[in-house]
Amino acid sequence: MEFMKKTEDTILTLKEKEGVPFLSFPILEKTGLVSQAFSTRLGGVSKGDFATMNFSFTRGDNREDVLENYRRMAAALGVDMNRMVLTWQTHTTNVRSVTAEDEGKGVVRDRDYRDVDGLITDIPGITLVTFFADCVPLYFLDPVHRAIGLSHSGWRGTVKRMGQVTADAMKEAFGSRPEDIIACVGPSICKDCYEVGAEVAEEFCGAFDETYHNAILLKKPDGKYQLDLWKANEIVLTEAGIKKENLAVTNICTYCNPELLFSHRRSAERRGNLCAFLSLKEKQI
């Protein structure tokens, strides 16, 4: 199994545990503080358009198959499925501070919240989970205060600076300082594959300094634009105070890897969902 990458840099590595392949960030892994993954399409039991590792309960897949996929990923990461907490994503910049009372919500318990696109916690053993099929996953680790965040940032979230909002939420809840945070921009659609209309381009021009416009947007002869969500989120995170040496930006595109990753732009509704997973490890005594 090999991913098509936009550069030769090793931003993510492919791992396999308990028969489940997943992508991992070395920059997070080397801290020894977290369990983390970005899922692939492989290693699960879902069938048809959802084959095989689909994590969405709401797209028409068999519920027991989806639960088995969660069990398998939990085993691969060495975490407790019953302590996973899921977002309810609607392209907001709402961030929920997850407590022990939230454990299992979205997997084994109903969620009593909605319109939540970001999660933060400082409780070891709770696994934060967010959903993707082209939008941008944002991972956050504060190794000083031992706190984490995980957010979903599509084009709307990026315009509204979800990365900044999440870092601010961690500062308010846990005292996190942006200069201490390690942040990652996860697998998502690349600039070459992401065409948008003038109205979306105008939103980005209004939200970002003019000096960045050429880096984020490439105008085509037909009046459409190629949008670089990777670069836009990198700018948001560095402007939020994340140090460049503490920032990893994906070079793996969801659209470019149809055999390994789900892509909404490629498959529309005939697909499953990928997930990002992030959990603080228990302190070693």
Q: Which domains does the chain have, with CATH numbers?
A: 13-189+246-280 (3.60.140.10)
Structure confidence at residue 66 (pLDDT): 98
* pLDDT band (50, 70, 90) for residue 285: low
This prediction has a pTM of 0.98
Backbone φ and ψ of 187, nearest 5°: -55, 135
d(CA 211, CA 208): 8
Write out the two tokens for 261: 């990753």
Arithmetic mean of pLDDT, 40-64? 98
Structure confidence at residue 1 (pLDDT): 82
Residue 283 has pLDDT above 90, yes or no: no
Alpha-carbon Rg for the chain, nearest whole angstrom, is 18
d(CA 38, CA 24): 6
d(CA 35, CA 277): 8
Tell which phi-psi region holds residue 60, choosing left (phi > 0), alpha (psi between -120 and 50) or beta: left
**Rounded to the nearest 5 degrees, what angle is found at the Cα of 77, between the Cα atoms of 73 and 80?**
80
Residue 284 has pLDDT above 80, yes or no: no
CA distances from 255 to 112, 189, 218 (A): 33, 6, 18
Structure confidence at residue 240 (pLDDT): 98
